[in-house]
């Protein structure tokens, strides 16, 4: 598990993240919500070892993050940044194969375990139809599924996803989130995901963490956070919470 113990982050003395205490476990999807600049991406970058805490500590499996080597950590935790690197001239399968890097390095040859892990990741994400196509020719939703397949091939226990729905239409957003939910349940993964759409977060996440101006304002299950007063405190505008027609989750509407 991840344990965040009073972690803060500041640049040139300006605090971007106030002391946070929280625990993240496997088998759950955690949604980080809040307005732009609230600290969501900062927190996920700290968890992914992309930035170092200014004060406090973050532990993974009861070890401080700075005690983990990069490749050792990548075997346990996979990170998908908000701005994806170029996949120019790579097929879907070639991109998925990069997920095996922590196990043998860029120049290492794939063995039968690597091949099996790649095949399994492609099957789990239903990206067989994209395996031989260039990633740059895929639609936004198709491309995100291939990147998720790469993370699954990595064999990690936690997925850290920074705004994976950016620039996707609503159909592809639901497709990607449904896949993330399915992978979490089938593989017992821990997933921490930055989301802007509170209704998507309510539908697909087990727990929500609301950040505001670098502070952890509220956390709990979607039912606990989906109330008028809490959402108004998070987003700064009146909200009305309704039961979705399906009856299985709540939705919020700005007033």
Of the candidates 147, 176, 158, the residue with the CA atom closest to the CA atom of residue 47: 158
> Cα–Cα distance between 12 and 26 in angstroms, integer?
35
**Residue 110 above 90 pLDDT?**
no
128-141 mean pLDDT? 91
- For domain 2-200, the question of CATH label 3.20.20.60 is answered with no
**Residue 91 above 80 pLDDT?**
yes
143: buried, middle or exposed (CB in 10 Å: 19+, 13-18, 0-12)? buried
Asked whether the beta carbons of 31 and 205 are under 8 A apart, the reply is yes
> Cα–Cα distance between 46 and 52 in angstroms, integer?
6
34: buried, middle or exposed (CB in 10 Å: 19+, 13-18, 0-12)? buried
> Cα–Cα distance between 204 and 181 in angstroms, integer?
6
Residue 68: predicted pLDDT: 94
- Provide the pairing of β-strand 158-162 with 239-243: unpaired
Residue 157: predicted pLDDT: 92
> Cα–Cα distance between 111 and 90 in angstroms, integer?
20
pLDDT tens-digit readout, 159-196: 999 988 887 888 888 988 998 999 999 999 999 999 98
pLDDT tens-digit readout, 34-68: 988 889 999 999 999 999 999 999 999 999 999 99
């Amino acid at each position: 598990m991840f344990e965040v113990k009073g972690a803060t982050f500041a640049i040139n003395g300006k605090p971007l993240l106030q002391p946070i205490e929280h625990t993240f476990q496997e088998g759950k999807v955690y949604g980080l919500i809040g307005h732009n600049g609230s600290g969501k991406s900062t927190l996920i970058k700290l968890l992914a070892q992309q930035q170092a805490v200014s004060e406090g500590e973050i532990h993974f499996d009861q070890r401080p993050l700075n005690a983990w080597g990069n490749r050792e950590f990548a075997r346990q935790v996979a990170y998908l940044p908000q701005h994806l690197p170029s996949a120019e001239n790579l097929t879907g399968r070639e991109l998925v194969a990069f997920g095996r890097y922590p196990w043998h390095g860029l120049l290492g040859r794939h063995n039968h375990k690597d091949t099996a892990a790649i095949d399994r990741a492609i099957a789990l994400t239903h990206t067989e139809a994209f395996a031989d196509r260039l990633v740059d020719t895929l639609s936004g939703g198709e491309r995100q599924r291939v990147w998720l397949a790469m993370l699954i091939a990595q064999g990690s226990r936690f997925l850290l996803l920074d705004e994976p729905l950016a620039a996707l239409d609503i159909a592809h957003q639901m497709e990607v989130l449904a896949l993330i939910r399915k992978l979490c349940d089938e593989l017992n993964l821990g997933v921490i995901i930055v989301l802007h759409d509170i209704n998507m977060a309510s539908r697909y996440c087990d727990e929500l963490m609301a950040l505001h101006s670098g502070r952890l304002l509220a956390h709990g299950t979607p039912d606990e956070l989906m109330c008028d007063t809490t959402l108004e405190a998070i987003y700064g505008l009146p909200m009305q919470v309704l039961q979705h027609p399906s009856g299985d989750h709540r939705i919020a509407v700005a007033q």
